[in-house]
């Protein structure tokens, strides 16, 4: 059994990372952390090829290391459409499950989803393995 988790800078993604790490540790299986760097990451940070952008990406890698501790994991920093990259990773690593954060809510997120699509929704439609969608920390159920 192998798990894949999608990771980026959003709070729900960080919650998915923690959940995936706990699950991988409990099952004693390897975890592939797929950090998809897309155009939004470049827009949110410094210009491409800048030192501060690289430092930000390195800091995100360190956050993964801190969150996962002793879990057996591999970090993949890839560029492209998040859903496509995650689908490719699940197929490449023959994942038993892919884990992602729940989509953001609000008007800005809704507009972004209309343009780019929703990663979780696309995974649910196209994945050959189970998809687990994790809400961000502190989300209250109603």
Confidence (pLDDT) at 113: 42
Confidence grade of residue 116 (pLDDT, cut at 50, 70, 90) = very low
Q: Judge whether 73 lies within some domain.
A: yes
pLDDT digits (tens, 9 = 90+) for 13-59: 999 999 999 999 999 999 999 999 865 555 444 455 556 777 888 88
- pLDDT at 106 exceeding the cut of 60: no
| DSSP per-residue string spanning the chain | --EEEEE-SSHHHHHHHHHHHHHHHHHT--EEEEEEE-HHHHHHSSSTT-HHHHHHHHHHHHHHHHHHTTS-EEEEEEES-HHHHHHHHHHHTT-SEEEEEPPP-SHHHHHHHHHH--HHHHHHHH-SS-EEEEPPTTPPP-
Assigned domain for 121 exists: yes
Structural domain contains residue 140 = no
In a domain, 142, yes or no: no
Does 23 map to a domain? Answer: yes
Q: What pTM did the predictor assign?
A: 0.81
- pLDDT band at residue 104 using 50, 70 and 90 as cut-offs: low
Query: Residue 137: what pLDDT?
Result: 76
Q: What is the per-residue pLDDT across 3-15, written as a single tens digit (0 to 9) for each? A: 999 998 888 899 9
Query: What is the domain extent for residue 53?
Result: 3-134
Question: Is position 141 within any domain?
Answer: no
Q: Is 80 within a domain?
A: yes
14 located within any domain? yes
Residue 61's CATH number: 3.40.50.620
Instruction: Report the number of distinct structural domains present in the chain.
Output: 1
């Amino acid at each position: 059994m192998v798990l894949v988790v999608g990771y980026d800078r959003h709070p729900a993604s960080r919650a998915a990372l923690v959940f995936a790490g706990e699950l991988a540790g409990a099952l004693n299986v390897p975890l592939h952390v797929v950090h998809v760097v897309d155009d939004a990451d470049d827009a949110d940070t410094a210009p491409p090829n800048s030192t501060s952008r690289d430092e930000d990406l390195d800091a995100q890698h360190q956050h993964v290391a801190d969150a996962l501790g002793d879990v057996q994991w591999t970090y993949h920093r890839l560029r492209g459409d998040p859903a496509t990259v995650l689908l490719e990773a699940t197929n490449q690593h023959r994942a038993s499950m892919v884990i992602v954060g729940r989509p953001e809510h609000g008007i800005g997120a809704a507009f972004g989803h209309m343009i780019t699509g929703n990663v979780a929704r696309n995974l649910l439609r196209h994945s050959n393995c189970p998809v687990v969608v994790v809400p961000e920390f502190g989300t209250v159920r109603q």
